[in-house]
Amino acid sequence: MNGTIMKHMQADIAGDLEQINRYTRRPFTAQEVYTFSVVLCDNEIDRDFERFSIEALHVLGRLFLGKTGIFFFVVKAGNQAARIYDTAVEAAEDKMTSCGEVYTRLVAKAYLPRCDKNADLIMEIESGMKKEVSVGCAVAEHICSVCGTDRALTPCGHEKGKVYAKNGKQEVCCVILNRPTDAYEWSFVAVPAQREAGVIKMFATVKGEVTMEQIMEKLRQAQDGVFLSGEEAAQILRYLEQTAEYAACGKAYREEVSRNVVKLCSLAQPQISPEVMKRVTRSMGLEDLKVFEKAFRAKAEEVVPLRPQLAAVQTKENSASGVNQEFKI
């Protein structure tokens, strides 16, 4: 979700300095800090066909207090550039979004110390070279704008960006991001805006354990990146281990069928060497192998009886009497 730096503000108001100094080791003066305003996000549809609800913007306003700005979402101490000390949700009554809501945005105030290290960054902000930001956060609900389904729990089948009929009108499907659970950071991004800038998607487990189907849907929807909780990562690991076990069993079964095909082929079609048949089976699918096994077995039984010599032969006489007549002398 993209945002922009609005303007530089001189922190000469006692209230601003009081808020800033909540995050410093010692009181700073107005001359020691550089402050600016930044639009973090809004309720308009973004390039990923997602948008925040107005309620989510208010929650994010609280969650982003004290969060640091970094570069390109690379979370390292050296990449920390500024810190948010105040936020406000602003509504523009004369402007509507493409979804018919009053345009609403989350605005933050940020500061960074005036020092040699930050001189270039301050100049880039002043010159407009550093003006776009993106936010990283987690939300508990991903609501489909067409049907209202929480896609974090149940995939609904509607595709983001496609047009659907709703209430007699044509509407572009988007996902409404609601109930934020965490705000990670906000990031300065390159100018022009990079396509990877956007909300870092994460499903919070708020209604019981997330199923493997939900995790897979989450991975399918992710375009730029995805965060997994510890439980989600553990569940994927269990799924992969189970899949590997099933794959080993399937491999063993296929090898057994392949050996049967080679053996039966030697009986039914002795002119085909076992080595040739082995090479042929390597490129065959399991279903084809089973077809060949059945066909060769039927052909081989015409040549050599595959029934054990002492196996009982069912007849009307011994079936009725229950006596194995074929073993009588």
Residues 6 or more apart whose Cβ sits within 8 Å of residue 316: none
Q: What pLDDT does 203 receive?
A: 39
DSSP states of 277-288:
HHHHHHTS-HHH
Q: What is the pLDDT of residues 144-166, one digit of tens each?
A: 999 999 988 888 889 998 999 88
Q: What is the pLDDT of residues 83-113, one digit of tens each?
A: 999 999 999 888 898 888 999 999 889 898 9
pLDDT-wise least confident of 23-27, 33-37, 318-322: 318-322
Query: 131-160 burial by CB neighbour count: b if 16+ within 10 A, else e?
Result: bbbbbbbbbbbbbbbbeeebbbbebeebeb
Residue 42 pLDDT more than 80?
Answer: yes
Whether the Cβ atoms of residue 36 and residue 9 lie closer than 8 Å to each other: yes
Distance CA 143, CA 136 (A): 18
Token look-up 């082995």 returns 278
Residue 208 pLDDT more than 70?
Answer: no
